[in-house]
Structure formats: C-alpha cells, structure tokens
Chain A
C-alpha cells in the first residue's frame, strides 16, 4: 500500500543506501563508533563493491517506493577491488541520465565516495540527502502500486 500522509505530519523520506563493504559501510560504522548523529531515514544495504550495484537494484528500490537512493563506494583510485568503482561511476552516470529522462527529480538519486575513515562525510551526506528530499515529497513517478 502506498503511504498516505496526514496533512500535519512531516514527510519522512525513505532512502535505500547501497554501501560497499570495504569503504562506505566501514565509514558508516565509523560514524557509529564516533557516535555521530544523522536522521534514521536511511536503510543501508551492504554490497561487496559499488561496481556490483546493478541499475536494476536502483530501479527496484524506486519501484518499491524509495524516495531516494544512494550508491556509495570507495574513492576513485582506492577501490578494494582495484577498479570496480570506476565501472560504478560510469554506470551510475547513465542511470542518472535515464532517471532524469523519465522525469525523476535528479536529487532523488545520488552517488558518493566515502572512505572507511570518513564517518563525518557519511553523516553529512545522509543529513544533506534527507534535507534535499523533504521538500520533494513522496516519490510516485516510479512507485509501483503494490
């Protein structure tokens, strides 16, 4: 069922974040260890490498009602798997174009580079993402009525 919002209730976007195991997931762990605070709107899915994130995962997340999707990997040149994130970068650029072409707001889909040492950066990215998504309201363009 699509969520119905009460008028008074503030919109809380739901974000699916695909984090690579070696850098971004470790970076989000560091944010936790350092007790940094960010909004609970993000649901992390740890994958081996940002290069393994298929465009289908992104579309599926939007189909299933995600208001925003984040793909985060190691910094370019620092990939645990040598060059997986370079493939991710090219592929994600195409997915971004496709999503814009079909009319999805560009702010709903982001890619970032977060290393295992960048807990602060991860915190910042999530906080900014949530802030950016709030004015957009729920994502309906790609949501399939289930």
Chain B
C-alpha cells in the first residue's frame, strides 16, 4: 500500500523564513510524489505547531512525517514524541535540518530555498523506508564503580552509597584522600583541610555499601551502560590489614629510606610505611620499589619484628572481576613539574617550592610541624616571593589554560605565611587576579589589607641562587619598573595538569580527552558531568582544573546521574542497530572483524548481531561486499534515494 507522508515546514520566526521561502518549500513538497500533506507554521515546536502535526496525522491518516526545522539534535525527540502521541511510531518521523545547515549559513534566498527543498525531499525519501522500531530493553547491574579516591571520588561514592546502591571505590595509592589530605588549610575560610576531609574518609571505610579497593588499578573494562565488566588489579601490599595492629615496629627497623611522596620529597619514609597517620584503610604498605627483596634472606627485618605476623612476603597481585552499571571517573590532577620551568631554575634550588610542598610546610602534620622553615638551612624565611601562573596561561612553552585555583591558594599561602612569620614580607607576582567565587574576592582583599601582602603585577623573568638568597628578577608592569628581590624562599603556583596515567585510563574506558588531556564532557554547558560514553561520568579535576567546592558539586552531580541509571529496572537502547539479511550473508566474517563493539559473531556460517552491544555505527554495512548487513533506518537503499533527492531537479 502506498505510504502517506506529511511535511511540516517551520519558519522559526525569521530564523528560517528570513532566508528560506518557507511557503515555496511547503508548496514544492506538496507536489512531491507520496506527500499527502504539506504546510508551514511559524513555530512548529510550539504547542499549536505540534497540534497541527497531530491533527494532520489523525485526519489524513499519515504514515509518516517530516518536520523541516532546526537541527535534529534540538527537536528530534520533541517531534518523535508528538508522532508517537498521534498514533504512529517515533521512527516514522524525520527531521530536515533547514536552519543550521541552510538558512543560517546562506544569504541568497533563491538558492537557500532551493537547497531547503532538496534537504526536505531527501528526508521524505528517508522516512518512507523507515521501519517502526521499539527501544531494546536491557537489564541493569545496580552497583557503581568510582575510580579515584580523592575528594571527588569520596563524595561520589558516599552519595551513591547513601542512595542505597553498592559502590566499589578504587584508589591506586595505599590510602584514599587524594591531594586534599595533603593541604593544610583551605580557602576562603581557612578550614583545616584534614579536619574536614577525614570524617568523610572514615565514613567511606565504615559504610556498609562501599567496597574500598586501595592500592588497586583498573586493568580492563568491557560492556556497556548498565552492564560493565571491570577487571581490577589489586597490587600486593605485603601486609595483612586484618592482622596489622599499627604498632609501627616495622618502620623502626626498616633500613631503606625513600622519598616521601606525601610530603612531596621534603622528607623521607621507610620502604614499609603508612602514608599518613589518618590513612584509610589504616594499614602499612611495603613498597617493593625500595625493599631490598621479598626474600627474607635479603633483609626480612620487618617480618622479624612483626608480632602479629601481618607481613606476608608471598602476597601476589590479584585480579578481581566486578560487574557494575555505572562508572564515575575522578582521577584528579597532578602539578605541572617545576623541573619543566627553565626560568624558575628547573627545580634545582631547594628553597624554590611548588604549591603542594608549601602546603606541607604549613601543615601541622608536615615535615616541620607547621613551622615555615627553609628546606635548605631550616631558617625562618623573612622574604617570600610567590609566583602565580607558573606553567599556566603560557601557550608557547607550557599550558595554555588557566589553572583556576592558583590565585586563591597563593593568597591563602601568603596569608598563612604571615600568620606564621609576623615580621616577614610576602610578595605575589601575578598576571591577573581571578577571584570569582563566593567569598573569594573578599579573601584576596583580606590578604592585601590585613596581612599586608604586596601584589606586584608582572611576570618573573628569572630566579637564581645568590649568596644564600634566591634572587628574583621581575617587572611591575603597573609602575613600569624592574623589580629585584633577595628572597629567602620562592613558592611557585604551578599549573594543574591531568594526573599521571589518566590518558591510559581514558583509553581503557574509551572516553575522550580534550587537547590538554583533561577528560572531555559530553557537552560543555548542558552535560558537564557526563562523558561521551553513556554510563560513564566525570567528577573533579580530572575534567578540568577546579577547586574543592566545585569538585564536590560535580561529584554529587555525577553521583545523581549514576543513580538515575542504577534506579531503573531496565534501560533502553536505541533500536537502530545492524540487521543481517541471511539470504545474502556468506559468512565471510569481514564485518565481524571491523565491528568496534564486538557485537557481531559468526554462527553456523552466518553473522549474528548482538543488538545490545551494537551502537549502529554502520561500519559493518560499508564493509560488506554483498550488502547483507545494514543498519536499520539508514540502509543503502535509503541513502541512494536521499542522494537522488539531493541531486534531482
């Protein structure tokens, strides 16, 4: 039976009608074979506009409709729902994009109208061969995986767990806490960072719904939204946390001293260690990189003194397989290496610190118990220069982006310094002060007015050691003068960059990264916590430089998104998937080889489609020599008709 098509041309005010003669489009389309109804209206997406579609479908018993309007990314769902409510299948509605791809990019009315007619005819040809389809329903594994145990990962895990779903929290370091646990105070309130974070860490460790996997890394991920399969590598700590009593006897006898990453190399630690006193899980880890050997004959001192016999040199790496329905990636940041900064001495001066090292110096749990002392000679520095944008906002040599948090933490550092060394002087070199945020501008003002921090607008060109001082050569561009400061200590506000290993993880997860290596969100404005892969969400500084409140907010957002998946009974998958014509398929297997999703398998000499895995990309269809496999609703026959419509006339 002949199919009846309806065409609805939208004016979009003057957005379309300004350059496209919509009346002519509707008139021309009414002459097109198979079109039984054609009209135009000022705003098709409005209620009256949608009613026109409904009425026409019902009155003229239309089989399918084409709406010539804006991009399908905007109103395809709207009009497909209208079609469905009017009694035809959603897939019997197609959008002809005559705004973004026509009226907005052309000025010549005659030519634009001609093009709009062709685009609309091409959509008519497509919709006439569309199959009516229903979404494919798939089950949901009601557990989540959170990768990264910093503040963002902790917040996301707690939010999901508190919604009643199980969470696996994977952290590659021996303890959760991330960089936040290293900080001394936080802006703009000067809250003690450890004091506000440790309650959350304890909550994670005690939560019945959270399975914490520290010292573990993601090895492999497969599957799809609602049904991911994850292989997690649990690295051996060589200490049984259940037996360990935290007596600390092992570190006393361990002969190996290594750089302590928790204090960013300002102190040393033993090869067997607990990262910091409040570590979660509270247990020791034997660092195989420094241990002279797991053979007791080589050393074995720690095992000798361990009364509860918690040390087990035979512990092996384990691979644990888990199934989850949603994944949150919160892999955080690392600082841009000061070794990369030639003008600031390539990190070779002991008294030139980066921001996190200065945090450790200020911290009561740090190497100096909160006294600010020079690492080189342990004297109190009386002149401290803080340099902002060290590596940030420097597209030629370093990172092009603004690291966002440095203006605020430098103000905090200068303030903390003044609170410790009352007779000292703090100088801050800056390009601009970016203090957008609640209470942030007031905080910077407080640093200037109450603590007498001297802000100098300009960049530092060079720093070098000179007679026990760090000579800083800079310029104050506001007064146009060169500045030379004999500083006792220099603190660099080094740029934030994606954490080590984030790129490899992104590859395993098949989520995209932006040009700077941060994880890419699905839409910069409207989908800021989703990755482009459905079921995977982003939280914290892994997505872009951000401060603690923003990381927490994004983590809660990502958790809510994950819960919206976990709370479903079933998920629905687009039914525009590949379909095999068994009469034509010879079982050559070329499509099986090219399928990016492993959705095709050979069975009894023919190809079989796993409709749940198939994303409908059509790579198989272009590969098949016999046109035996096609994606539903974008078949070669449809494309050939669309080409004809585009070139006809």
- By a beta-carbon cutoff of 8 Å, the part of chain A in contact with chain B is 14, 16, 26, 28-33, 35-40, 43-49, 51-57, 60-61, 64-66, 78-84, 87-88, 91, 123
Contact = CB atoms under 8 A, between A and B. Distances in A.
A61 B647 CA distance: 8
B643 A16 contact: yes
B73 A26 contact: yes
Interface in B108-144: 108, 111-112, 114-115, 118-119, 122
29 contacts: A28-B101, A31-B105, A32-B99, A33-B104, A35-B104, A35-B105, A37-B106, A38-B105, A39-B106, A40-B112, A43-B647, A47-B634, A48-B618, A49-B617, A49-B618, A51-B618, A52-B621, A52-B631, A53-B622, A54-B622, A55-B622, A57-B643, A60-B640, A81-B619, A82-B596, A83-B596, A84-B596, A87-B619, A87-B622
A32 B72 CA distance: 13
Contacts of B101: 28-29, 32, 44
A57 B100 contact: no
B223 interface: no
Given A64-B648, A91-B622, 19 more contacts: A28-B100, A30-B100, A32-B99, A33-B104, A35-B104, A39-B106, A40-B112, A44-B97, A44-B101, A45-B642, A45-B643, A47-B634, A49-B619, A53-B622, A55-B622, A56-B636, A80-B532, A82-B510, A82-B596
A47 B105 contact: no
Nearest to A19: B101
A43 B648 CA distance: 11
Interface of B: 71-73, 97, 99-102, 104-108, 111-112, 114-115, 118-119, 122, 510, 512, 532, 576, 594, 596-597, 615-619, 621-623, 631, 634, 636, 639-640, 642-644, 646-648
B113 to A, nearest CB: 9
Contacts of A49: 617-619
Given A29-B73, A45-B122, A48-B617, A61 B643 contact: yes
B619 A51 contact: yes
Nearest to A57: B639
A29 B74 CA distance: 11
A112 to B, nearest CB: 16
B596 A44 contact: no
Contacts of B72: 46
A60 B119 contact: no
B646 A45 contact: yes
A66 B99 contact: no
Contacts of A87: 594, 619, 622-623
Nearest to B645: A43
Contacts of B621: 52, 54
A7 B144 CA distance: 69
Given A16-B646, A57-B639, A29 B619 contact: no
A131 B648 CA distance: 22
B647 A52 contact: no
Nearest to B103: A32
Contacts of A33: 100, 104
Nearest to B620: A52
Contacts of B115: 40, 43
Contacts of B108: 40
B622 A52 contact: yes
A81 B636 CA distance: 19
A32 B622 contact: no
B623 to A, nearest CB: 7
Nearest to B74: A29
B580 to A, nearest CB: 15
A16 B647 contact: yes
B617 A84 contact: yes
Contact of A43 (B104, B112, B122, B616): B122
A84 B114 CA distance: 33
Contacts of A37: 105-107
4 closest pairs, A vs B, by CB? A52-B618, A32-B100, A81-B617, A51-B619
B644 A64 contact: yes
Nearest to A78: B512
Name the residue among B71, B105, B639, B640 with the largest chain A CB count within 10 angstroms: B105
B634 A32 contact: no
A14 B636 CA distance: 21
Nearest to B99: A32
B596 A52 contact: no
A57 B641 CA distance: 10
A33 B100 CA distance: 6
